[in-house]
Amino acid sequence: MQYLFLIYGNEQAMLSAPKETAEKTMAAYAAYTDAMTKAGVLVGGNRLRPTSSASSVRVNNGKPQVLDGPYAEIKEQLAGYYLVDVPDLDAALSWAARCPGAERGTIEVRPVWPRGE
Least distance to other proteins from the beta carbon of 92, Å? 8
Q: Which is nearer to other proteins, 34 or 108 (CB)?
A: 108
Least distance to other proteins from the beta carbon of 86, Å? 9
How many residues of this chain interact with other proteins, rule: CB under 8 A?
13
**Under 8 Å between Cβ of 55 and 66:** yes
Q: Which of residues 55-114 bind other proteins (CB under 8 A)?
A: 87-90, 93, 109, 111, 113-114
Least distance to other proteins from the beta carbon of 90, Å? 5
Contacting residues toward other proteins, per CB under 8 A: 1, 87-90, 93, 109, 111, 113-117
